[in-house]
Amino acid sequence: MSALCRLAVLPVTIAVVLGGASAATAAPVKATVDTAGHKVSMRDRQATRATRMGRRADGRRATLRCVRRGSMVDGNVRRTDRWYKLRNGAWVPGAQLRLPKAAAKLPICRKVPFGDDYFYRSRPVGRIDAWRFYSRYCTSFAAWRANQIGPKFSNFSHGQHYSNAENWDNAARAAGIPVNRRPRRGAIAQWDPGVNGASYAGHVGFVRRVFRNGDVLIEEYNWTTARGYGRRRVSARQISHFIHFGR
């Protein structure tokens, strides 16, 4: 199936839709935002300098899925390096949450969850996302995963314009990021236009696992499911390049 990744956008002011997307969780816990009248920023990973996905108002409820340590935050409630993942996939610092006792039983979040935790999974298609790609296309999901494993990344990172998936390998090389034919867990898989079903704009996905026989397990958007999440096992030889943002 051919996968289309739309042209990435030029710099603009980003308007992020607030609110959560429905997602199943094994042990949901309700907490309350406490920021002394301000809004708490939701981030794409557990760091104060990570990309802001939106904001949640003081006094609003938040459903927490799991917890993981990140950057230290001095908040209105406490000083802590604990961050909590919301149902919509974004992170908020525990320093700005009133937590019930049940929060102590929340599981530790995996660094990169398996499955569709993508922030924009229930949002309209083709909106400008927080990294300046189009939502629910392959480039947007790959940017979501890249930010979970490595340094802050966006369409205009490293002084480059990543644009369509077909250009990601060239932009990464120009920025000094390793690009090769060697698969590695956590790498971004990149297909040139027309390679093994990729569209004229190319395609990108996330390498979830590398098998001994040379196959890789890919997580992606807009391939097996139009504008949606999918995963598949393919031979690494069918992929044009691997980009190692996290190295």
Q: Where are the domains of the chain?
A: 29-105, 138-243
pTM of the full predicted structure?
A: 0.84
% of the chain with per-residue pLDDT over 90:
85
Higher pLDDT, 21 or 6: 6
User: Which helix H or strand E contains 229, and what residues bound it?
Assistant: strand 229-235
Q: What is the largest CA-CA distance in the chain?
A: 56
And the tokens for 112? 């990169």
CATH of 29-105 among 2.30.30, 1.10.3720, 1.10.10, 3.40.50: 2.30.30
**For residues 125-145, average pLDDT:** 97
pLDDT at 5: 64
* pLDDT tens, position by position, 212-245: 999 999 999 999 999 999 999 999 999 999 999 9
Q: Specify whether domain 138-243 bears CATH 3.90.1720.10.
A: yes
HSE, CB side, 13 Å, CA atoms: give it for residue 245.
Answer: 28
Angstrom CA distances, 9 to 54, 131, 135, 140, stand at: 19, 10, 11, 11
Angstrom CA distances, 39 to 14, 18, 72, 81, stand at: 17, 11, 18, 19
Higher pLDDT, 203 or 247: 203
* pLDDT tens, position by position, 142-193: 999 999 988 899 999 999 999 999 999 999 999 999 999 999 999 999 999 9
Angular region, 158: left φ>0, alpha ψ -120 to 50, beta rest: left
Q: Is pLDDT of 16 > 80?
A: no
CB 193 within 8 A of CB 219: no
